[in-house]
Structure 1
Amino acid sequence: MGAAQRPGHARRSETDAALTTGSVARRLGVAPTTLRSWERRYGIGPARREEGRHRRWTTVDVGRMEEMCRLTALGVPPAEAARAALEATGADAPRSRNGGGRGGRRALSLPLGNVRQECRGLARAAVRLDAPAVESQLRVTLGEYGFTTGWEEVMAPALHAVGRKWASSGERYVEVEHLLSWHVSSALRRVADAPEDASRPVAPVVLACVPGEQHTLPLEALTAVLGERGVPTRMFGAALPAEALYEAVRRIGPSAVVLWAHSRNSADRALVRLVAETEWGVRGARTHSAVLVAGPGWSPRAGTYAPGVERLTGLRTAADRIESLFAA
């Protein structure tokens, strides 16, 4: 432990810790095919090649590619970015402070904190408006972690970081937020609908944003997790009118109704009472759906809205509670 390192020890450790192309792609938010294409076209890639083995990236190789990604995010053409990155001294090379690129626009720096490398890769791909890389990163994330961890530890932190940057920069970077939101929404909707047995009536879960509410992604994530768990749902998306929600509950007879509100202005107490009082079922045996409110717009004391109303917090605990209601 305390012995001095022999000459060459650091070089061996660097090689031992070298990364695969797939790992580097996830870290940088670049599709593996893009890395291979850049290497083929511009000569930038792993400096070390061992015959009969996959390519391995050292920290210096990764730092050089990070510089390439930074420059292309600024709008520098790939060929020029590759030349500049190759001329740098390595991963610790000082970076330009003048904004560089076309029109002097600075690269978007996202305060992500301590997050998974897939989250950093996703954010970097979104900043570059690299739709194929965003798509690839989401596919890898959901395949490896599933919808719950994928949302909580990769997608949501990246979305929040982009949203904070947009809010602090006026209307700049709105294109990044829109592109990332679109692809996240598309990825969340790829979960297969839970199969339903026509011979055994089921009471699915209704999910809807309250009137005037356009923030749907957290509710889409919940819908995806429920589908992953085999809970049938009816998702109505953004800003469902109160009358339409009432008719949906009356016609479907759901086991539970989840109402999402992002802001206090859209959190409608009267709507909660309306849903809680809505009856469904055959005459003489009417019943009610469980009403659950979700999102930061609602008060923690949701029971004051109507008897039995619960407030959901966190994707995982929300899915657990809904699953238990569906199974009851």
Structure 2
Amino acid sequence: MDRVPQTPPQDLPAAALSTGAVARRLGVSPTTLRSWERRYAIGPARREAGRHRRWTPPDIARLELMCRLTADGVPPAEAARAALADAPAAPPAEAVAPAPPPTPGGPSALPLGAVRPECRGLSRAAVRLDAPTVAELLEAALAEHGLVTAWEQVIAPTLHAVGRKWASAGERYVEVEHLLSWQISAALHRIRPAPESPRSPPVLLACVPGEQHSLPIEALTAALGQRSLPARMFGAALPAEALHDAVRRTGPRAVVLWAQSRATADPALARSVAAIEWGLRGARAHAALLLAGPGWSAGAPAPRTERLHGLRSGLAVIESLALPRAATGAAGAEPSAYGF
């Protein structure tokens, strides 16, 4: 008996995305997209019973235009009318080809380059000064990728793009950097550390005197906490005398000193910290000094001193210090994709 050929179901094109995925790309919350659909009819062109919303490339193009217009101060209702009127009609489903990842448009776009879609969404929300959405996107990235990967592939590239935009635009976009930095710091502080290992010497983390950029070692502190490694974070611009006192009082496993620029890096301070010893005569102990940040020179480190080149490799160095040297050997640090 001949088999009757079955007509395949008319599925949406492979390029169609969920509401959550579109929200991450555009830097808006899923609630905002649903609100726009309900109020202004700017939703998916195709809907099927029993399925979740799926957004095709033409749908996403309309949303991108609406995002650009609202970021420029156009009221949402007016922006929706313009987006619906100007966006091209959706081609037949079989003609829809996968679209390249959307890129931020307009004069306020950040120079991101080839990055994950989440970076573009985060940058758009930051440029709009949309703090709730920035917070939501950061939480989603941390939950989906974990702290280290989220830092390397989402957070750091967006921070670097903001810095490049600020450097090329005079005093503009300083507010974007401040808002993004504050939200990143808040997200890192919400990460609860695991219980500390008992009787384990801590790692001290601080910025050198005069250094206000502390986000990278905040990320390192949070990552150490997730690994049950005791950490004592002192933040920005710790005075030299206070640093010396903290080292003597805690007897740390390691001291991490962050310097963002050559102007704040202080080799004399580094040498003095590396020389601190404690304990009884004949059984003196000292901490490993780990220099982090682009401010330190690239020359050979001084005795008892090592360079950290990135969050992932820096964690490996610190974790190796917690194990017997005979088992691990000397620790090395290879630069990660984006450094700290």
**TM-score (normalizing by structure 1):** 0.88
Query: Per-residue deviation at 1:111?
Result: 1.5
1:293 pairs with 274, 287, 291, which one? 291
CA distance in structure 2 between the aligned counterparts of 1:119 and 1:281, rounded to whole angstroms: 48
Cα gap change, 1:59/1:125 in structure 2, threshold over 3 Å: closer, same or farther?
same
Contact 1:194 1:232 in 2 (8 A): no
Q: Is the 8 A contact 1:209 1:259 kept in 2?
A: yes
Q: Which amino acid aligns with 1:45?
A: G
Asked whether the equivalents of residues 196 and 225 of structure 2 are also in contact (C-alpha less than 8 Å), the reply is: no
Q: Give distance in 2, aligned partners of 1:268 and 1:253.
A: 22
Tell me the CA shift for residue 18 of structure 1. 1.0
**Contact 1:63–1:91 (CA<8 Å) still a contact in 2?**
no
Give 1:283 deviation, angstroms: 5.3
Aligned residues: 301
Once the two structures are superposed, the pairs formed by residues 144-163 of structure 1 within 5 Å of their partners are 144-163=144-163
Q: Secondary structure at the match of 1:287?
A: coil
Counterpart of 1:164 in structure 2 is 164
Query: Residue in 2 aligned with 1:5?
Result: none
CA distance in structure 2 between the partners assigned to 1:91 and 1:258 by the alignment: 56
Task: State the partner residue of 2:201.
Answer: 203
Matched letter for residue 39 of structure 1: E
Percent of aligned pairs with the same amino acid: 68
Give 1:228 deviation, angstroms: 2.0
Within 5 Å, give how 1:1-328 maps onto structure 2. 15-90=13-88, 107-197=107-197, 200-282=198-280, 284-303=282-301, 306-328=302-324
2:166 is paired with a residue of what secondary structure?
helix
Q: Tell me which amino acid in the other structure corresponds to 1:141.
A: A
> For the Cα contact (< 8 Å) 1:205–1:326, is it kept in 2?
no
Residue 100 of structure 2: aligned partner: none
Q: How far, CA to CA, are the matches of 2:265 and 2:13 in structure 1?
A: 55
Q: Structure 1, unaligned stretches of length 5 or more?
A: 1-11, 93-105
Per the TM alignment, residue 217 of structure 1 is displaced from its structure 2 partner at its CA by: 1.0
TM (norm. structure 2) is: 0.85
> Contact between 1:276 and 1:290, CA under 8 Å: does it hold in 2?
yes
1:190 Cα deviation from its structure 2 partner:
1.9
SS at match of 2:13: helix
**1:280 positional shift:** 2.2
What CA RMSD, in Å, does the superposition of the two structures yield over aligned residues? Answer: 1.8
Q: Within 2, Cα distance between the matches of 1:134 and 1:317?
A: 27
- Whole-Å separation in 2 of the counterparts to 1:17 and 1:321: 42
User: In structure 2, the residue corresponding to 1:293 is in which secondary structure?
Assistant: strand
**Contact in 2 for aligned 1:302/1:309 (Cα 8 Å):** no
Structure with a larger share of its residues in helix: 1
**Cα shift at 1:193:** 2.5
Q: For 1:327 and 1:248, how far apart are their aligned partners in 2?
A: 23
Q: How far is 1:282 from its partner?
A: 4.4
Deviation at 1:89, TM superposition (A): 2.8
Question: Per-residue deviation at 1:284?
Answer: 4.8
Q: Alignment partner of 1:234: what SS?
A: strand
